[in-house]
Amino acid sequence: MRLYTWLIVAGLGVNVLVQALAEPPDAGIKDMEAERQKMVGVIRERYGFSHERILSAMQKVRRHRFVPQEHVEGTDPYGDHPCPIGKGQTISQPFIVAYMTSLLDVTQEVKVLEIGTGSGYQAAVLAELGAQVYTIEIVPELAEHARKALRGEGYTNSVHVLTGDGYKGWPEHAPFDAVIVTCAPDSVPQALVDQLKDGGRMVVPVGEWSQRLVVLKKSGGRVTQADDIAVRFVPMVRGK
């Protein structure tokens, strides 16, 4: 909505309506709603994905606002592919975001630990589904970018970003109802399993060159795990 102000023209005593210089924060920035609709259509039709709550959340989250400005040029943030965000990292392909989210079975008010904040996009999708998200990013520049993007998109109270080593998790806020890892360790980090609540589940890509999603479930103190689809993620980095 544009803002207007009334000015009194000196000597004429006439009220004149003029546009204020102040513009809303999003002035000149495309909302790209049509692009989001197309993205959701591809996920639904090309991959047969039918979790409508997740698709609705992805329709609402403005993916392009999570791409750092220096990577916007020549980038299609809604295409059926990963999107570069710098530092050798990417926003995952939209279908992979949708699919991994579906494996977590996120409901209102659950507490989710995310390892590998990246741009903040996956955290925003989880928050849109009603989760409280605690997300860890080891690259300081990406963590700061994610904080700004999440704040700008209104997720300040639902997403909490820590710059740190994801292998350690976030014990101060454990246990978590769900854990999602968006980078690939060579084996499942035990600290993350320990911080998973009984009855919770974890989704993590495991492996170096050959990777698969692994789905872990904790029940009665026992942990079971099953391999899922083949994937390709950047390696998970240990802190020094």
Percent of the chain with pLDDT over 90: 79
Q: Which of 105, 89, 168 is nearest to 134 (CA)?
A: 168
Percent of the chain with pLDDT over 70: 88
d(CA 91, CA 77): 9
Q: Which pLDDT score is estimated for 70?
A: 85
Q: Is 69 exposed, middle or buried, given 0-12, 13-18 or 19+ CB atoms closer than 10 A?
A: exposed
In this prediction, residue 150 has a pLDDT band, given cuts at 50, 70 and 90, of very high
Average pLDDT of the chain, as a whole number: 88
* Structure tokens, 99: 């699919």
Q: Which pLDDT score is estimated for 13?
A: 41
Domains of the chain in sequence order: 4-231 (3.40.50.150)
| DSSP conformation class of 172 | G
Greatest extent of the chain over all pairs of C-alpha atoms, in Å:
84
For residues 75 and 39, which has the higher predicted lDDT (pLDDT)?
Answer: 39
Q: Is 32 exposed, middle or buried, given 0-12, 13-18 or 19+ CB atoms closer than 10 A?
A: middle
Which residue in the block uniquely carries the two structure tokens 């965000």?
85
Q: Is residue 8 over pLDDT 60?
A: no
In this prediction, residue 31 has a pLDDT band, given cuts at 50, 70 and 90, of confident
Q: Is residue 10 over pLDDT 80?
A: no
Mean pLDDT of the 151-177 span: 97
Q: Which of 123, 184, 182 is nearest to 156 (CA)?
A: 123
Please list the helix, strand and coil fractions of the chain in percent, rounded to the nearest 5, in that order: 30, 30, 40
Q: Which pLDDT score is estimated for 67?
A: 93
Q: Which pLDDT score is estimated for 19?
A: 34
For residues 240 and 4, which has the higher predicted lDDT (pLDDT)?
Answer: 240
For residues 8 and 176, which has the higher predicted lDDT (pLDDT)?
Answer: 176
Q: Is residue 4 over pLDDT 70?
A: no
Q: Is residue 120 over pLDDT 80?
A: yes
Q: Which of 92, 88, 236, 101 is nearest to 166 (CA)?
A: 236
In this prediction, residue 1 has a pLDDT band, given cuts at 50, 70 and 90, of very low
**Options 50, 56, 92, 102, the catalytic residue:** 92
d(CA 105, CA 115): 17
Q: Which of 14, 8, 149 is nearest to 86 (CA)?
A: 149
Mean pLDDT of the 141-150 span: 97
**Contact status, residue 207 vs residue 184, Cβ threshold 8 Å:** yes
Q: pLDDT by residue (tens digit) across 218-238?
A: 999 899 999 999 999 999 999
Does residue 92 have an active-site annotation? yes
What 3-state class would DSSP assign to 180?
strand
